[in-house]
């Protein structure tokens, strides 16, 4: 090889299933689809206040889309579930400083995905808090009959946001 030649790096990088799932562009696109479905232009600068019109609209939509955990596991609902999971994840990331990680995969009975088990982690008061996408959806579905599935998440997100803001003072 001559001194003025460069070594070509013409190879493909193969991404893992986790790398594909956690890709920020994919997650953003999925979150945007859910936001379009919910008629939400953007995630606000601060968490939605309790009882806000957006929270009520999200509660009603989430109760309609996910009336029980069985509905969330139907193949025809997989994209909608993924859209919601990505949307909620973006809220936790923005307001609770959460990050996605691949929790131990224990089978499809505990994950909406074939080989990954997305979970969120954030630093709580005393230690790290972790919740899998499956656990998030279980809580939402369990509260569908009460109509407050999203409120439950929004309240937790708001509490984390307030805790972070108070600790910065």
Specify the higher pLDDT residue, 10 or 134: 134
Which 8-state DSSP code applies to residue 50?
T
CA gap 86, 126 in Å, rounded = 26
Reported as a single tens digit per residue, the pLDDT across 117-165 is: 999 998 766 678 899 999 999 999 999 999 999 999 999 999 999 999 9
Does the pLDDT of residue 3 top 60, yes or no? no
Q: What is the pLDDT of residue 168?
A: 81
In the chain, what are the domain boundaries? 18-167
**DSSP letters spanning 92-150:** HHHHH--EEEEPPP--GGG-SSSS--EEEEEE-SSSEEEEEHHHHHHHHHHTGGGT-HH
The answer to whether 61 touches 151, Cβ cutoff 8 Å, is no
pLDDT value of position 72 = 96
Q: For the whole model, what pTM was predicted?
A: 0.89
CB atoms within 10 A of CB 6: 6
46-89: pLDDT as tens digits: 999 999 999 999 999 999 999 999 999 999 999 999 999 999 99
Residue 36: beta bridge partners? none
pLDDT at residue 4, rounded to an integer:
58
The label of the residue with tokens 């206040």 reads 49
């Amino acid at each position: 090889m001559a001194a003025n030649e460069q070594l070509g790096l013409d190879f493909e990088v193969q991404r893992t299933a986790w790398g594909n799932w956690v890709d920020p562009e994919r997650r953003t696109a999925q979150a945007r689809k859910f936001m379009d479905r919910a008629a939400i232009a953007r995630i606000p600068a601060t968490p939605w206040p309790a009882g806000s019109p957006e929270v009520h609209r999200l509660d009603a939509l989430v109760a309609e889309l996910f009336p029980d955990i069985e509905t969330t596991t139907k193949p025809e609902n997989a994209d909608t579930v993924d859209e919601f999971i990505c949307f909620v994840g973006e809220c936790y990331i923005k307001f609770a400083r959460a990050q996605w990680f691949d929790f131990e995969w224990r089978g499809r009975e505990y994950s909406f995905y074939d080989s990954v088990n997305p979970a969120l982690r954030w630093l709580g008061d005393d230690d790290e808090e972790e919740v899998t996408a499956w656990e998030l959806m279980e809580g939402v579905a369990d509260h569908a009959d009460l109509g407050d599935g999203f409120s439950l998440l929004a309240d937790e997100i708001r509490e984390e946001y307030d805790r972070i803001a108070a600790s910065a003072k």
